[in-house]
Amino acid sequence: MWCYEKRLQHPIKITQTNPKIAQIIISQFGGPDGELAASMRYLSQRYTMPYKEVTGILTDIGTEELAHMEMVCTIVYQLTKNLTPEEIEKSVFGTYYVDHTLALWPQAASGTPWTAAYIQSKGDPITDLHEDMAADGATV
Amino acid sequence: MSERPCKKDLLNKINMVSFAVDDVKLFLDTHPCDEEALAYFREFSRMRNEALKEYAANFGPLTVDTAVYSCSDVWNWTDEPWPWQEGGC
């Protein structure tokens, strides 16, 4: 069970649009080391985690990653909000716009769609924690 | 309610104390008997609940549990802007 809180973990107020930066930032949403992968990694692994402290921390960090995902999506949304067709056409966001307009869709910067293949959930605590350290270490 | 609080200041306070609660919660998951962390949690959790209640009473609810304190007679959850929108939290 989850409850939504109607605020961002940290406020985001972007006033200057920039499709080029949005094309890069979107990887932190739907890329291999993005927030969607992070939350799905933790929230999938927790069921078979044999230590209650670790189950707790996987649950609470996995939840916080969802809040991070919301901030990243907000950044992309605000960076591309109200762009004109001309601005979109001449930017790197043009090919994205063909399929998704300015909607948020989880993909990597390369255009590769988000996939569960980005994460691992193995049922072995050492294996899963190594997976988590490798994935979160990539974003540090 | 004596004086209407500043919306921006109150939201900043909610964000700040909530971050403290989130962080100490993670610490407590692996240090459940740490007295100092427990005291910190209790203090900031109380401040967070009070601030959320005050926000709901003045500007509309940010959580379902504080919707009961809402300043509106109707369900105004969808009236205030969403967090990614202009004027949102």
Instruction: Map out the domains of chain B as residue ranges.
Output: 7-69
pLDDT of residue A140: 53
Does A47 reside within a domain?
Answer: yes
B40 touches chain A (CB under 8 A): no
pLDDT band with cut points at 50, 70 and 90 for residue B88: confident
In this predicted model, what pLDDT tens digit does every residue of B52-85 receive, in sequence order?
A: 999 999 999 999 999 999 988 899 999 999 999 9
In this predicted model, what pLDDT tens digit does every residue of A88-134 receive, in sequence order?
A: 988 988 999 999 999 999 999 999 999 999 999 999 999 999 999 99
Number of Cβ within 10 Å of residue A136's Cβ equals 15
Q: What is the DSSP string of A26-59?
A: THHHHSTTSHHHHHHHHHHHGGG-S-HHHHHHHH
Question: A39 burial class (0-12, 13-18, 19+ CB within 10 angstroms)?
Answer: buried
Mutate to test the interface with A, among B22, B63, B66, B84 (most CBs of A within 10 A): B84
A1 touches chain B (CB under 8 A): no
Q: Which ranges of chain B does DSSP label H, i.e. alpha helix? A: 7-30, 35-59
| pLDDT higher than threshold 90 for residue A136 | no
| pLDDT higher than threshold 60 for residue B31 | yes
pLDDT of residue A115: 98
Rounded mean pLDDT, A16-28: 96
B87 touches chain A (CB under 8 A): no
Contact A45, A127 (CB under 8 A): no
| pLDDT higher than threshold 80 for residue A139 | no
Evaluated on CA atoms A3, A5, A9, A13, the torsion sign reads positive
Does A8 reside within a domain?
Answer: no
Number of Cβ within 10 Å of residue A12's Cβ equals 17
Phi first, then psi: give them for residue A137, nearest 5 degrees: -65, -30
CATH number for the domain harbouring residue A123: 1.20.1260.10
Query: How close does chain A come to B3, measured CA to CA in Å?
Result: 23
Phi first, then psi: give them for residue A81, nearest 5 degrees: -60, 135
Q: Cα A56 to chain center, whole Å? A: 21
Asked if A6 lies within 8 A of B25 by C-beta distance, the reply is: no
pLDDT band with cut points at 50, 70 and 90 for residue B28: very high
Does A3 reside within a domain?
Answer: no
- Rounded distance, CA B89 to CA B79, Å? 13
Residues of chain A contacting residue B19, judged by C-beta atoms under 8 Å apart: 9-10
Asked if A7 lies within 8 A of B89 by C-beta distance, the reply is: yes
Q: Print the domain residue range for A88.
A: 19-137
Asked if A7 lies within 8 A of B15 by C-beta distance, the reply is: yes
The H or E element that residue A131 is part of is helix A125-137
Of A7, A56, A60, the CB nearest to B83: A7
Interface of A with B in 19-48 (CB under 8 A): none
